[in-house]
Amino acid sequence: MLRLLATALLVLLVALPTRAQRLWPVSGTVTESYGMVVNGPGVASPNPGVFIASPAAVPVRAVVEGTVAKVDMMPEYGAYVLVRHGEILTAYANLSQVRVREGDAVRSGQVLGDAGIPQTPKGEGLFFAVFRYDAHSARAVTLDPLAWLRGE
């Protein structure tokens, strides 16, 4: 019995995404960081993700395998895709084109859509965010996407 439990635990641990398996979602440069962002003289607001400047139409890829939880549009983020990885959600926004549907199983590295220049002030590129569901508070908590990609 103990041997069966140890084997099951090993299988679960092997299935967890490691730092080496977390891909960069799009080629480009981070131009807006996670955390507080200054939006004008004396005006700061929390930024739940990072903006990666990238030419329009560059493929945006899933950083790890998961299931597409939502595909939608928001005025401030344009088209976006949310991918669920257990208690983690990754968000890919500012897309010019979406190539997946809700409920799709996606592989690590699979194209979710294209970086874009929709009607948002961010310009060309991708907005990328990571959330963890906190069962205690029953809400999603933002994580630093760059630290999460590094496995921290």
pLDDT grade for 110, boundaries at 50, 70 and 90: very high
Model confidence, pTM: 0.81
Q: What does the DSSP assignment read for the chain? A: -HHHHHHHHHHHHHHSPPGGG---SSSSEEEE-SEEEEEETTEEEEESEEEEE--TT-EEE-SS-EEEEEEEEETTTEEEEEEEETTEEEEEEEEEEE---TT-EE-TT-EEEEEB--SSTT-SEEEEEEEEEETTTTEEEEE-HHHHHTT-
Report residue 39's pLDDT band, with 50, 70 and 90 as the boundaries: confident
Which sequence spans correspond to the domains of the chain?
Answer: 2-149
Convert the pLDDT of each residue in 52-105 to its tens digit. 999 888 999 999 999 999 999 988 788 999 999 999 999 999 999 999 999 999
| Fold category of 2-149 in CATH | Glucose Permease (Domain IIA) (2.70.70)
